[in-house]
Structure 1
């Protein structure tokens, strides 16, 4: 019988990848300990090695950029809300309160 698909948290993936990098345990021992396939452990280890530089460099810049983007989007939402309210009031003046139907 096939096992139900599992979704692992980023914390668990990092823990397994770090254990694989340490080299204290063999791949077979890691598989048994964490109950994850060897190919998955190898993939997570490769991902950790390839993205390790982002932790100290680009990760902080991405957070700042996303904060700026969120701020701009909030401003745009406010502007569009004001425009919508203005146009709604104009429509009520032309057609009366029942004109919105």
Structure 2
């Protein structure tokens, strides 16, 4: 149907329908985009945090191991 036919059928001015169409075409990608989609920057920050937490965990294990060996060698806790 033409804009004039749609306007007559629904009681709207053809310019209103034209403006709605333009708005719909520009906003459609945003409407159907996943809201929980992460940006590249967010993924980079999460990867950096995960790497840091992994390093901290590894260091904790190494420190605990060294404390245990120190106690075995010297019979007391390290200062």
Give the TM-score normalised by structure 2: 0.49
Structure having greater relative contact order (Cα 8 Å, sep ≥ 6): 1
Task: State the TM-score, normalized to the length of structure 1.
Answer: 0.39
Larger Rg: 2
